[in-house]
Structure 1
Amino acid sequence: MTETVRTWRHIPQRYNLTGSKCLQCGNVFFPSRIICPECRRKGKLEDLKFSGRGKIHSYSVINTPTDEFKDIAPYVVAIVELEEGAKITSQIVDCDPDSIEIGDEVEMVFRKVREEGEDGVISYGFKFKPKT
């Protein structure tokens, strides 16, 4: 799949932080699912727009990145547990990597994710920053 197609297909999740919630068991998911893994066909899913607030569940500081990300190293990648309960992986920005701790409160920000070549598509999406 080309980057352009992937970008357009994932706009609801990437730009709005939209997932799904099972009305049967109450579990929340990101990205959206069409079937609840707990309830299977008995479950009924609805779209859920997440608040964009959460806490760092786990993290890692990347000191030796791939060539694509070498200009921003060192940087933090974390599993963020959102207020609604879903866990997502994201980069943590606007911080000193040495100051990040598990349990820190974070909030979603909208940033450039990557650029495909000098004249290519620029992809934007969510990242998180420490809550001030």
Structure 2
Amino acid sequence: MTVPTSPFPGRPIPPTTPETIEWWDATRSCRLLVQHCRECDLHQLYPRSLCRSCGSLELEFRDAAGTGIVYSHTTVEKSPDTTLFTPPYAVALVDLAEGPRLLTNVVGIEPTLIRCGDAVTVVWEPLPDGRQLPLFTPVS
């Protein structure tokens, strides 16, 4: 599902790195990936070259369910640049079902109505280069 109207009209395009290219490529088909360590079984985001728990290089990407719980959030009422971000909008930490915590935006709801503990699911915001940015919306 894609975001019908984005509150982020001029969002800067996120860069890719050698560690994130596979993750970003998966977003082109609206697939959310988490990195998995084959040594200690940890799931992590953002993609890195080694496991943040055990230091292993034995990492692989796995499909994520695209569901999570709002851990924390804030409503931005005054944007640093209204050509990039139209307030009000919500910035949130979402605990994914697989374990990692993702910094993201929650859309599809008045930002002041978001609560910690809310169940959310991924929606996708198209980027100009064909990639998709994972955002989250409340589970109805």
Residue 36 of structure 2 is aligned to residue 21 of structure 1: yes
Structure with greater proportional strand content: 1
What CA deviation, in whole Å up to 9, does each residue of 1:63-96 have, x standing for no partner?
01122334x3101010000000011011100001
In the alignment, the residues of structure 2 paired with residue 99 and residue 5 of structure 1 have an alpha-carbon distance, to the nearest angstrom, of 31
Whether contact under 8 Å (1:18, 1:32) holds in the other structure is no
Task: Give the RMSD, CA atoms, in angstroms.
Answer: 2.7
Whether contact under 8 Å (2:25, 2:131) holds in the other structure is no
Structure with higher RCO (Cα < 8 A, 6+ apart): 2
Residue 115 of structure 2 is aligned to residue 101 of structure 1: yes
Q: Structure 2: give runs of 5+ residues left out of the alignment.
A: 1-12
Query: Aligned match of 2:45 in 15, 18, 30?
Result: 30
Whether contact under 8 Å (2:27, 2:132) holds in the other structure is no
Larger Rg: 1
Change (3 A) 1:33 1:13: farther
Tell me which amino acid in the other structure corresponds to 2:97.
E
Structure 1 residue 123: Cα displacement: 5.9
Residue 68 of structure 2 is aligned to residue 59 of structure 1: no
In the alignment, the residues of structure 1 paired with residue 49 and residue 103 of structure 2 have an alpha-carbon distance, to the nearest angstrom, of 20
Q: Which residue of 1 aligns with 2:132?
A: 124
Q: Structure 1: give runs of 5+ residues left out of the alignment.
A: 116-120
Structure with greater proportional helix content: 1
Whether contact under 8 Å (1:18, 1:31) holds in the other structure is no
In the alignment, the residues of structure 1 paired with residue 59 and residue 132 of structure 2 have an alpha-carbon distance, to the nearest angstrom, of 27
Q: Which residue of 2 aligns with 1:118?
A: none
Q: Which residue of 1 aligns with 2:8?
A: none
Structure 1 residue 99: Cα displacement: 1.0
> How many residue pairs end up in the alignment?
122
Query: Aligned match of 1:84 in 73, 86, 98?
Result: 98
Structure 1 residue 53: Cα displacement: 0.1
Identity of aligned residues (%): 25
What CA deviation, in whole Å up to 9, does each residue of 1:35-64 have, x standing for no partner?
1122224x6222111110000011010001
Residue 122 of structure 2 is aligned to residue 75 of structure 1: no
SS in 1 for 2:65: coil
Whether contact under 8 Å (2:36, 2:60) holds in the other structure is yes
